[in-house]
Chain A
């Protein structure tokens, strides 16, 4: 009898303890520590970087038929900004890839394009481009297209597009944003055919302007 009383008492105590524990487990909103506050700083120093070294990513290896060459050199260039403030459109295909003043053309702010007329229909295997490489910067909404239509309305083949939020209005692109380097950007065109190559950009991380130092188009005349 005594034992059964003890067992009953223990049972009641255990029940009470469990209830207490459950009461203690009442949920409360999780609150994180306040995040660290910003530190005040002085006037930032101007950044002057020499030509950046190529980043860790290596340029793609592109296999092309023998005899493939830069078919854009010296070819006619037109643009959405026909009167650039700095430089001439001819600089884009003159073979000069230096980043110094006098080697680049500056187009106006916002979405701008340049277009190279290859003179005849070509099979394009690769496009190499240099926007500006005397400073660490990335150009926004870089889109490269090839077409036989000089107005780029029909038969447009997009070979590169890093406009991942469709801010240029030509569809979302999945290619990655990249920082400009002196080795340029090599794009695999996968043997698309066309007479015209058009390149878009929409400002850059330093300012709203669009720059081109050089564009090379590697291909062969279409048979």
Chain B
């Protein structure tokens, strides 16, 4: 076995070791919980309806259903957190695996380093354990990049078709695909006008490319040709997203991602992947000096994409993963260049970089920081207190005469991910304002309402997310019974 392959296998082992442990431990983020409930609907009723306003395309659900079936989970109630989070883990490993195919594109040493950086990048590790679409999107993007590049090199029909397939999967995963396509188009156009050799585009190949993309997208959005409403909506959605890009409450300054990724200091805690940025810049310089065409392509692609994401006011930490992945690939080129040019300096420096990134990956995914708002990957995350709240409701149902059939009334504008955590209780109602308490055994209300139901109730405070508090009112007789169990 060649050294390149061994290095990537080691990277895969490291990637698995960082991504797999205790997937169920971190509380469910609101976005994860919403996806989980929608997935439950697909599992139970085979139903999926594309919402052009939010929640993205269906590929993640399609990828999860077979895993749920394999694990014997057929209903929302049976659904397990690990079952869902294993999907981004597999695609996160897939991103490393694709570097096997990038040996003659990126360079063998370069792709080995890129594999290692992909395996240990704190952002890539963190979101490979997160049940949202981003890592799947990065996987399909990388597959598109490699297949288009293959077509550029070989001019073969099959690579045009594979590229179309990847493009369709990107569209069926997340609406931000248009930003990636635009960045890729600019990068390939730059190569087209500057490189001495270019492929001869054939109409049949273009047709295969477009056809593959359309077939995959239509198949996905029509839920395998059973519901056609999602197909036109998957295009019309961009009218909504143009407006949503203005911020929708997630407005951040242009340097938000830079600060988050490169130098994020909170108190005495410092989080940084600046080493990836420095190595990526070294990779860009090397790509132009040594005429590494794929490196030049990556350089233009990542710079255009970074500018677009910086300009768009709407920003969340996971939106930038495609940029980070491209930087990691360029860092592979930079690291390989260092090793060739200054081996005596490169090895100890790169060993330090790997150790630092690995240690940070462990820290961002640690029990202590995985949902701590000071962690740069954490954004509006559910507090562990919310899980305690759900445990409390279950403990009360265990002593309630009607058990799990007891009535729980939730009166709050902000209550996600409680529908996920209380999914086994059939009588949970949700109001966005104070409602009649009659019939309820437990009432969960927003602390803003400051409800007081009198001496017949025990009130506790729990956190939903940082800054969002919920009051939990428990009927006094049930509270007394519960206290008996604590003696």
B313 at the interface (CB under 8 A from A): no
Q: A43-B316, A43-B380, A177-B461 are in contact. Are A48 and B267 (CB under 8 A)?
A: no
Chain A residues 28 to 51 lying within 8 A of chain B, measured CB to CB, are 32, 34-49
Q: Check if A206 sits within 8 Å of B54, measured CB to CB.
A: no
CA distance A207 to B27 in the complex (A): 11
Stretch of A71-79, A115-123, A130-138, A145-153 contacting B (4+ beta carbons < 8 Å): A130-138
B37, B383, B407: which contacts A207 (Cβ < 8 A)? Answer: B383
A86 in contact with B429 (CB, 8 Å)? no
Contact check, B267 vs A47: say whether CB atoms are below 8 A apart.
Answer: no
Chain B residues whose CB sits within 8 angstroms of the CB of A209 once the complex forms: 368, 372
Partner of B463, one of A32, A48, A137, A166: A137
1/0 contact trace for B338-368 toward A, CB 8 Å? 0000000000000000000000000000011
How many whole Å from B379's CB to the nearest CB in chain A?
6
Task: Indicate if the CB atoms of B249 and A45 lie closer than 8 Å.
Answer: yes
* Chain B interface extent, by class: 35 or more
* B373 partner residues in chain A, CB cutoff 8 A: 46, 206-207
Q: Contact at A165–B486, with CB atoms within 8 Å?
A: yes
Q: Which of B65-73, B92-100, B190-198, B408-416 contacts A (4 or more CB under 8 A)?
A: B408-416
* Contact A44:B30 (CB < 8 A) given known A165-B486, A172-B483: yes
Q: Does B7 contact A (CB under 8 A)?
A: no
How many residues does chain A have at the interface if contact means C-beta atoms less than 8 Å apart? 44
* Contact call A207/B384, Cβ cutoff below 8 A: yes
Taking a contact as CB atoms under 8 Å apart, the answer to whether B431 and A36 are in contact is yes
* Distance in angstroms between the alpha carbons of A200 and B51 in the assembled complex: 48
Kindly list chain B residues whose C-beta atoms are within 8 Å of the C-beta of A206: 373, 383, 385, 463, 465-467
Tell me if A59 counts as interface (CB < 8 A to partner B).
no
Instruction: Identify which of residues 377-401 in chain B touch chain A, using a CB-to-CB cut-off of 8 Å.
Output: 379-380, 383-385
Task: Tell me, yes or no, whether A219 is within 8 Å of chain B by CB.
Answer: no
A154 to chain B, nearest CB (A): 24
B31 contacts A43, C-beta separation under 8 Å: yes
In this assembly, does A161 line the interface, its C-beta being within 8 Å of a C-beta of chain B? no
Q: How far is the CB of B482 from chain A (nearest CB, A)?
A: 8
Residues of B within 8 A of A44 (CB): 30, 380, 414, 416, 465
Q: How far is the CA of A137 from the CA of B385 in the complex (A)?
A: 11
How far does the alpha carbon of A34 sit from the alpha carbon of B467 in the complex, in Å?
Answer: 31
Pick the residue among A38, A43, A49, A204 that contacts B419 (CB under 8 A).
A38
A179 touching B469 by the CB < 8 A rule?
yes
B residues near A136, Cβ cutoff 8 Å? 447, 467-469
Provide the residues of chain B in CB contact with A165, threshold 8 Å: 460, 482-483, 486
B458 at the interface (CB under 8 A from A): yes
Q: Does B330 contact A (CB under 8 A)?
A: no
Contact between B429 and A135 (Cβ–Cβ < 8 Å)?
no
User: Inside 8 A of B290's CB, which chain A residues have their CB?
Assistant: none
Query: CB within 8 A of B467: which of A49, A109, A172?
Result: A49
Residue pair B380, A46 in contact (C-beta under 8 Å): yes
State whether A35 touches B466 (Cβ < 8 A). no
- A54-96 vs B, CB cutoff 8 Å, 1 = contact: the mask equals 0010000000000000000000000000000111000000000
Q: Which of A34, A37, A137, A138 contacts B466 (CB 8 A)?
A: A137
Instruction: Say whether A101 contacts B383, CB under 8 Å.
Output: no
**Are A38 and B466 in contact (CB-based, < 8 A)?**
no
Tell me, rounded to whole Å, the shortest Cβ–Cβ distance linking A133 to chain B: 12
Shortest Cβ distance from residue B320 to the other chain A in the assembled complex, whole angstroms: 14
Most buried by A among B38, B267, B372: B267
Residue pair A208, B469 in contact (C-beta under 8 Å): no
B234 to chain A, nearest CB (A): 18
A102 contacts B483, CB within 8 Å?
Answer: no
Closest B residue to A108 by beta carbon equals B368
Asked, given contacts A48-B467, A179-B469, A206-B467, whether A38 binds B415 with beta carbons under 8 Å apart, the answer is: yes
In Å, the complex CA distance between A34 and B373 comes to: 37
CB of A35 within 8 A of CB of B409, answer yes
Q: Which of B53, B367, B379, B466 contacts A135 (CB 8 A)?
A: B466
Whether B269 is near chain A, meaning CB under 8 Å from some CB there, is yes
**A65 → chain B, closest Cβ, in Å?**
35
With a cutoff of 8 Å between Cβ atoms, the chain B residues found around residue A207 in the complex are 371-373, 383-384, 466
CA distance A85 to B371 in the complex (A): 17
Residues in A lying within 8 Å of B, measured CB to CB: 32, 34-49, 56, 85-87, 101-102, 106, 108-109, 135-138, 164-167, 172, 177, 179, 203-209
Query: Which residues of B come within 8 Å of A, CB atoms?
Result: 30-31, 34, 37-38, 51, 53-55, 248-250, 266-269, 316, 367-368, 371-373, 379-380, 383-385, 407, 409, 414-416, 418-419, 427-432, 439, 447, 450, 458-463, 465-469, 482-483, 486
Instruction: Give 10 A-B pairs besides A43-B380, A136-B467, A165-B483 with Cβ atoms closer than 8 angstroms.
Output: A32-B407, A32-B439, A35-B428, A41-B416, A45-B380, A101-B267, A109-B368, A165-B482, A166-B486, A177-B460
| 15 CB-based A-B contacts, threshold 8 Å | A32-B439, A37-B430, A38-B430, A40-B38, A42-B53, A43-B31, A43-B316, A49-B467, A108-B368, A135-B467, A165-B483, A206-B466, A206-B467, A207-B372, A208-B368
